[in-house]
Amino acid sequence: MKKLLFAMFFVQFTISMVNAQATADPNLDLNMVPPLVALNTNSVMEATVNNFGSRDIVANSLIVQISVGLNAEMIGLDPTSSTDWTLISNPSGASNTWRLQNTSGIITQFDPFPVPIKIIVRGVALGGPSNILGNIAYRVGLNPLLPLSAPSASQGNIDPTNDNPITSLTVVSVLAVSLTEVTSTASDCSAKITWSTVREDAGSTFDVEYSPDGARFVKVGTVAGRSATGSKYDFSYSQGNGKGFYRLKIGSATGEVTYSKVVNVTTKCNEKKVFIYPNPIQNLQDLHVNITNFAGAVNGNLINAAGQIILTKKLVNGANLVKIENLAEGIYTFKVTDEAKEVQNFKIVVVK
Which percentage of the chain shows pLDDT scores above 90?
A: 22
151 band by pLDDT with thresholds 50, 70 and 90: very low
Please tell me the predicted confidence (pLDDT) of residue 12: 41
**What would you report as the CA-atom Rg of the chain, rounded to the nearest whole angstrom?**
28
Please tell me the predicted confidence (pLDDT) of residue 229: 67
CATH superfamily of 177-267: Immunoglobulins (2.60.40.10)
Give mean pLDDT, residues 303-315. 91
Please tell me the predicted confidence (pLDDT) of residue 158: 57
Other C-beta atoms closer than 10 Å to the C-beta of 62 total: 24
Please tell me the predicted confidence (pLDDT) of residue 5: 42
Please tell me the predicted confidence (pLDDT) of residue 343: 87
19: amino acid identity, one letter: N
CATH superfamily of 273-351: Macroglobulin (MG2) domain (2.60.40.1930)
pLDDT over 80 (residue 161)? no
Q: Give the containing element (helix H, strand E) for 2.
A: helix 2-21
Where along the chain do its domains lie?
A: 24-172, 177-267, 273-351
Question: Are 191 and 267 contacting, i.e. CB atoms less than 8 angstroms apart?
Answer: yes
Give mean pLDDT, residues 274-299. 89
| Distance separating alpha carbons of residues 122 and 191, to the nearest angstrom | 33
Same fold, 24-172 and 273-351: yes
pLDDT over 90 (residue 104)? no
How much is the pTM? 0.51
CATH superfamily of 24-172: Immunoglobulins (2.60.40.10)
179 band by pLDDT with thresholds 50, 70 and 90: confident
pLDDT over 60 (residue 150)? no
Weakest-pLDDT range from 5-14, 232-241, 301-310: 5-14
| Mean pLDDT of the chain, nearest integer | 80
Give mean pLDDT, residues 181-196. 88
Give mean pLDDT, residues 220-236. 84
- At residue 233, the 3 state secondary structure works out as strand
Give mean pLDDT, residues 10-25. 43
Which percentage of the chain shows pLDDT scores above 70?
A: 83
Please tell me the predicted confidence (pLDDT) of residue 93: 62
Question: Are 133 and 163 contacting, i.e. CB atoms less than 8 angstroms apart?
Answer: no
Nearest to 30 by CA among 99, 119, 109, 154: 119
DSSP 153-175: TTSS-S-GGGS--EEEEEEES--
Please tell me the predicted confidence (pLDDT) of residue 215: 77
